[in-house]
A and B are shown apart, each in its own frame.
Chain A
């Protein structure tokens, strides 16, 4: 038997490799040219990176919600971006009323905590309602059905918020203690708010890991994500665990909403859409269903978005590179999925379902 195995390589694979190589070349050449120009100082690169890190932390928090739900239900909860928005929105009402009454100025820390609490509660309640009303009746339906429901729910929630609270921009109050910068050395300095965002996000992610690893509910969640039927046989209430997962992801999204608004301050009914898409991209980048992957993907995407347009495109002489930021993000997503279909860290549950 000396015959050779017939190779699987075909036209489409070759095509994709060529495209991938071309893009890589573009990135390398672009970066080289930009750096050679020496238009930007080290301080500026540093600022961009820190900013990307802060942005990425928020993406990571939202991405965790996608990943947790996906891990358990194998479904993309498209409406998660609206859960994030709802937290930020209702948090705004808490924060601004505290600001008006002077409470926020007197007890800024307590005020911030209350804002977090209100936002996280709102998100959680909304997510649990959504699960109960829209998703639970669809267990076992074909895959497209819950996905379409989620898309519908996303638009419904977005426009309900628009109807309820109007279209005008609302701004979070400026809180004195998180304004200003912290010097590092020389010209290098970091915004206080960025430190707050990065630390808060890191703290919450750490808590999540501990929760999933060590609590009873967390273990049950892992069991359900491995095999629902077996978990049910072991006496785990699968429905309850699913609700818990939604609630957990939503709480993180609500917190992310508040952090996001501390950074950018503006609240609108459509604010969830773009961060939602980005966070989902991050979750897929890292390997959906894998919490560590979601965190890594979020940070990676944040930094990539912040540095990428300048680094890759500026040197190539492309005008207004930041307009193309999302093109870079999505192209990267496609490339990662082609060459590593299960994301950077891999889907945690890569059981092949043949």
Chain B
């Protein structure tokens, strides 16, 4: 094959390679049990399960890559179909092997159920042909999507994404909309009936069409709309902004009423992670100090409140303090712990810092668990009977009441961290992150700057832990495992290191979603791990990257803006 020909057609070797890699990923997804497990959930009732959604998505991406490797549009589609077929073939070989030989002793998920799932319950070989055909079709679809213009492609992927998300969260949406009489009919039409889960087929198509069309039209006109907004005089723009804040505020207040008991609980869990995320964002995102033992401060906050307020009568200290008295002490001790950790690691760089902070987190957890401190902080039996606090006449115990406490905490942390970000301290942290030596040579006092980062981060975490103590009513050392640190780290990385809105995005994705999909908890860390690796390669700045401040051209705005913030 001459090189000229090669330009016109596609690269066989590359296509084969992509198909094989895609197939291997598919096999891995099947063999770790994700297909079987995720098939318990429907995205579109009776039509498409979640397991198949994941597999199809892999096929689609395989097709996309294959199409990208090809030169012309026609060869893109052919290439993607070929790659998809190879994908299907690899999966078929797997199915065939699993069916023929019993390898369950080694690979626990190589079960007859898996074969049944992957062959559409049509048996071998009919099911295998269907599998290969599906691979070709979905791969080809990927190729077609790849050659579409950018804006259509984006509209389609957004439509598919939103439809999948709605299908996934069907139960929750249905439960929360059940409170509204009028909505129930529409809900019934949109979603599966009775015990069915997921969207109805018609509902899925509707969601897809509306979202895709909406996005297409919006991207066409967004610039006009925002330009129109820019044209408005300064003062009315400001009015709009205030109106926005006002609406947001109202939404925050009424959220628990709309969401109901369970979803409020999910929001609360997310809120605790947002609090920790905002803190760790200061340490890792702003100051660039990789802290893997962040959970320690969460533990200090929780244990302080637990020890000071509990009424169990089993510990040496039996104070039974009011929560509102214990809370500041919890935060203060967390800050102290932050400084105590900060001092020894002042001179350590990234890698050493990571291992020492990890060790610090483990030390705190082991001490909490130990028989040595059991008389004082409960050891493995934890601290029980932490009474709920009261605020005015309300006892803060139900998810709805806790919600306001957590929102207040989050708003406080949000306020503090955005104020700090835009100050001398924020600049110093970022300078530290970029180049520690030069930052010091610019006159930045490293000791103070680093300790302030640790202390502020620890304060937020301590606050989060203090709230956790009254939320659970009992605290166990097991709640403060390393995994919490990793979870918080993952969420700020996925959201965007150093980005405050990113913390919210990350927490919704990595704390809220998993809480809603608790039945798949087994795969949580697998997905986190893959997400971290992929993010670092594809989008190291996160989903909502840190914004840069325009300060020169908008110099005249800078002053009033600062004033507005103070109001």
Q: How far is the CB of B546 from chain A (nearest CB, A)?
A: 13
Complex formed: what's the CA distance from A138 to B536 in Å? 8
Are B348 and A337 interface neighbours, CB within 8 A? yes
Contacts of B186 on A, CB cut-off 8 Å?
A: none
Are A144 and B288 interface neighbours, CB within 8 A? yes
Q: How far is the CB of B533 from chain A (nearest CB, A)?
A: 4
Q: How far is the CB of A169 from chain B (nearest CB, A)?
A: 13
**B 101-129 contacts with A by CB, 8 A:** 106-109
Q: How far is the CB of A273 from chain B (nearest CB, A)?
A: 9
**A 330-347 contacts with B by CB, 8 A:** 330-331, 333-334, 337-338, 341
Give B355-394 as 1s and 0s: 1 = Cβ < 8 Å from A's Cβ atoms: 1101110110011011110100000000000000000000
Are A326 and B536 interface neighbours, CB within 8 A? no
Are B533 and A330 interface neighbours, CB within 8 A? no
Q: How far is the CB of B255 from chain A (nearest CB, A)?
A: 33
Are A330 and B108 interface neighbours, CB within 8 A? no
Contacts of A327 on B, CB cut-off 8 Å?
A: 362-363, 366-367
Interface of B is mostly: helix
Give B339-357 as 1s and 0s: 1 = Cβ < 8 Å from A's Cβ atoms: 0000110111011101110
Are B108 and A164 interface neighbours, CB within 8 A? yes
Complex formed: what's the CA distance from A222 to B288 in Å? 30
Interface: A117 (CB within 8 A): no
Interface of A is mostly: helix
Number of interface residues of B (CB under 8 A): 57
Give A292-325 as 1s and 0s: 1 = Cβ < 8 Å from B's Cβ atoms: 0000000000000000000000000011100110
Are B108 and A152 interface neighbours, CB within 8 A? no
- Residue from B109, B350, B447, B528 in contact with A12 in the complex, judged by beta carbons closer than 8 Å: B447
Contacts of B351 on A, CB cut-off 8 Å?
A: 70, 74-76, 143, 147, 288
Are A147 and B290 interface neighbours, CB within 8 A? yes
Contacts of B529 on A, CB cut-off 8 Å?
A: 152-159
- A76/B536 contact (C-beta < 8 A), A160-B526, A326-B362 known: no
Contacts of B359 on A, CB cut-off 8 Å?
A: 277, 281, 329-330, 333-334
Complex formed: what's the CA distance from A152 to B491 in Å? 12
Q: How far is the CB of B517 from chain A (nearest CB, A)?
A: 16
Interface: A262 (CB within 8 A): no
Are B107 and A164 interface neighbours, CB within 8 A? yes
Complex formed: what's the CA distance from A233 to B533 in Å? 31
Interface: A210 (CB within 8 A): no
- A320/B372 contact (C-beta < 8 A), A156-B526, A327-B367 known: yes
Contacts of A337 on B, CB cut-off 8 Å?
A: 344, 348, 352, 356
Interface: A16 (CB within 8 A): yes
Interface: B525 (CB within 8 A): yes
Complex formed: what's the CA distance from A262 to B486 in Å? 31
Complex formed: what's the CA distance from A338 to B355 in Å? 13
Contacts of B533 on A, CB cut-off 8 Å?
A: 134, 149, 152-153, 156
Complex formed: what's the CA distance from A158 to B356 in Å? 22
**B 16-66 contacts with A by CB, 8 A:** 28, 31-34
Nearest B residue to A163, CB-CB: B32
- Residue from A70, A134, A320 in contact with B370 in the complex, judged by beta carbons closer than 8 Å: A320
Are B372 and A159 interface neighbours, CB within 8 A? no
Contacts of A153 on B, CB cut-off 8 Å?
A: 529, 532-533
Nearest B residue to A19, CB-CB: B344
Complex formed: what's the CA distance from A149 to B490 in Å? 11
**A 101-144 contacts with B by CB, 8 A:** 134, 137-138, 141, 143-144
Interface: A145 (CB within 8 A): yes
Are B350 and A334 interface neighbours, CB within 8 A? no
Q: How far is the CB of B540 from chain A (nearest CB, A)?
A: 6
Q: How large is the interface on A (under 10, 10 to 19, 20 to 34, 35 or more residues)?
A: 35 or more
Are A159 and B366 interface neighbours, CB within 8 A? no
Are B108 and A166 interface neighbours, CB within 8 A? yes
- Residue from A138, A146, A320, A330 in contact with B371 in the complex, judged by beta carbons closer than 8 Å: A320
Interface: B523 (CB within 8 A): yes
Give B524-548 as 1s and 0s: 1 = Cβ < 8 Å from A's Cβ atoms: 0110111111011100100000000
Are A163 and B33 interface neighbours, CB within 8 A? yes
Complex formed: what's the CA distance from A165 to B31 in Å? 9
Complex formed: what's the CA distance from A152 to B489 in Å? 10
- Residue from B28, B347, B530 in contact with A152 in the complex, judged by beta carbons closer than 8 Å: B530
Contacts of B314 on A, CB cut-off 8 Å?
A: none
Are A324 and B370 interface neighbours, CB within 8 A? yes
Contacts of A323 on B, CB cut-off 8 Å?
A: 366, 369-372
Are B290 and A137 interface neighbours, CB within 8 A? no
Q: How far is the CB of B34 from chain A (nearest CB, A)?
A: 7
- A284/B366 contact (C-beta < 8 A), A147-B290, A148-B532, A152-B531 known: no
Contacts of A4 on B, CB cut-off 8 Å?
A: none
Q: How far is the CB of A268 from chain B (nearest CB, A)?
A: 13
Are B486 and A151 interface neighbours, CB within 8 A? yes
Interface: B437 (CB within 8 A): yes
**A 250-273 contacts with B by CB, 8 A:** none
Contacts of B272 on A, CB cut-off 8 Å?
A: none
Q: How far is the CB of B496 from chain A (nearest CB, A)?
A: 13
Complex formed: what's the CA distance from A146 to B525 in Å? 19
Q: How far is the CB of A320 from chain B (nearest CB, A)?
A: 4
Contacts of B288 on A, CB cut-off 8 Å?
A: 144
Interface: B493 (CB within 8 A): yes
Nearest B residue to A329, CB-CB: B359
Are A137 and B537 interface neighbours, CB within 8 A? yes
Contacts of A246 on B, CB cut-off 8 Å?
A: none
Interface: A214 (CB within 8 A): no
Complex formed: what's the CA distance from A341 to B347 in Å? 8
Interface: A280 (CB within 8 A): yes
Q: How far is the CB of B104 from chain A (nearest CB, A)?
A: 9
Complex formed: what's the CA distance from A19 to B356 in Å? 16
Are A76 and B371 interface neighbours, CB within 8 A? no
Contacts of B372 on A, CB cut-off 8 Å?
A: 318-320, 323-324
Contacts of B34 on A, CB cut-off 8 Å?
A: 163
Are B290 and A76 interface neighbours, CB within 8 A? no
Give residues in B with beta carbon < 8 Å to A.
Answer: 28, 31-34, 106-109, 284, 288, 290, 292, 343-344, 346-348, 350-352, 354-356, 358-360, 362-363, 366-367, 369-372, 374, 437, 447, 486, 489-490, 493, 497, 522-523, 525-526, 528-533, 535-537, 540
Contacts A144-B290, A152-B532, A165-B106 supplied; 11 other A-B pairs, CB < 8 Å: A74-B351, A144-B288, A148-B532, A155-B486, A159-B525, A163-B109, A164-B32, A284-B352, A323-B366, A324-B372, A330-B360
Interchain residue pairs A-B with the least CB separation, the first 9: A152-B532, A163-B32, A156-B529, A330-B359, A155-B529, A159-B526, A166-B108, A320-B371, A152-B533
Give residues in A with beta carbon < 8 Å to B.
Answer: 10, 12, 15-16, 19, 70, 74-76, 93, 134, 137-138, 141, 143-149, 151-160, 162-166, 277, 280-281, 284, 288, 318-320, 323-324, 326-327, 329-331, 333-334, 337-338, 341, 354
